[in-house]
Amino acid sequence: MKRKRFFSKIFLWISVFFLFLTSGYIAKAQPLNYLLGARFDAMSNASVMIPDLWSVSHNQAGLGWVNTPSVGFHFENKFAVPEYSLSGIGASIPTGHGSVGAMLYYFGYSQYHDVRVGLAYGHAFSEHFAAGIQLNYIGTYIADEYGTFSSVVAEGGIMAIPVKNLYLGAHIFNITASRMNDPEREPLPVIFRLGIGYEFWDQLFVSVETEKEVNKSAVIRTGAEFNVNKTFFLRAGYSSNPGKPSFGLGFLFYHFRADIAVTLHPTLGFTPYFSLQYSF
């Protein structure tokens, strides 16, 4: 029994170290800002300007233009490692000039996991401009004597459609530079996203965005979505730093939308994604 527990601890710390090393977090572990929605994963998450149910995870301003009650489920298995699986749900309810949204995700396994719960509101001031904000509880659990670390984090963004088919978006995660409830830990990352998208011939949507975390190099993302026949979609994208291509498919069936995607990390391999959404 003691030997089994010893090897469990070794596996735990190797897993935690590997996760934070490959994600750019070293020594003082911080929960990551995971993004939900396989539609956007297929486009390398070049999505800060796209209104969608999953705007509750990307840019809450998009909820201002989500005019039907919706609920969705998301799952991904990072690098095909079971301990790195991520499950999440999202929901939105229209309120007249906008929508109230909520999201929840769980990343990891029993010995180490991140949890995030968010409540959002997006408001459309006109057909050309919307803004949104979200308040999150985030927490990290590490087994044994380390326990749970948590914080409350605010985020928000804007979207604009200045002319037909042109979409603009901007978003800030962790507006107040919040930190976990541990004086030895650094503040959680402050992340800026800015992007532009254009829809050609009502069939092809192309997007470009940049993401900048304070004290880190910027990431450039590009994405494309091709509407084959209004029920079937082809998607692709590319993300820099490191170079990571992505691909995916989408299907519409009555009130359901199913999306699948895969990303290819140059050294860690592939990650599969799946989302299912229902609009009432």
Q: Which range of residues forms the domain containing residue 84?
A: 27-279
Q: How far is it, in rounded angstroms, from Cα 221 to Cα 273?
A: 18
Q: Give the pLDDT confidence score for residue 132 in this predicted structure.
A: 97
> Number of structural domains, the chain?
1
Is residue 193 assigned to a domain?
Answer: yes
Which residue type sits at 279? Answer: S
Q: Give the pLDDT confidence score for residue 185 in this predicted structure.
A: 65
Is residue 272 assigned to a domain?
Answer: yes
Kindly report the CATH number assigned to the domain that includes residue 109: 2.40.160.60
β-pairing, 147-160 vs 98-109, is unpaired
Is residue 10 assigned to a domain?
Answer: no
Is residue 21 assigned to a domain?
Answer: no
Tell me the mean pLDDT in the region 56-79: 96
Is residue 191 assigned to a domain?
Answer: yes
Is residue 189 assigned to a domain?
Answer: yes
Q: Give the pLDDT confidence score for residue 31 in this predicted structure.
A: 58
Q: How far is it, in rounded angstroms, from Cα 120 to Cα 102?
A: 6
Q: How far is it, in rounded angstroms, from Cα 61 to Cα 132?
A: 4
Q: Give the pLDDT confidence score for residue 16 in this predicted structure.
A: 43
Mean pLDDT of all residues belonging to the chain: 88
pLDDT digits (tens, 9 = 90+) for 205-243: 999 999 999 888 899 999 999 999 989 999 999 999 889
23-31: long-range pairs with CB below 8 Å, 24+: 24/216, 28/184, 28/185, 28/186, 29/140, 29/142, 30/140, 30/180, 30/185, 30/186, 30/188, 30/189, 31/107, 31/114, 31/116, 31/138, 31/139, 31/140, 31/188
Helix (H) or strand (E) holding 42: helix 38-42
Q: Give the pLDDT confidence score for residue 242 in this predicted structure.
A: 86
SS3 184: coil
Is residue 145 assigned to a domain?
Answer: yes
Q: Give the pLDDT confidence score for residue 174 in this predicted structure.
A: 95
Is residue 23's pLDDT more than 80?
Answer: no
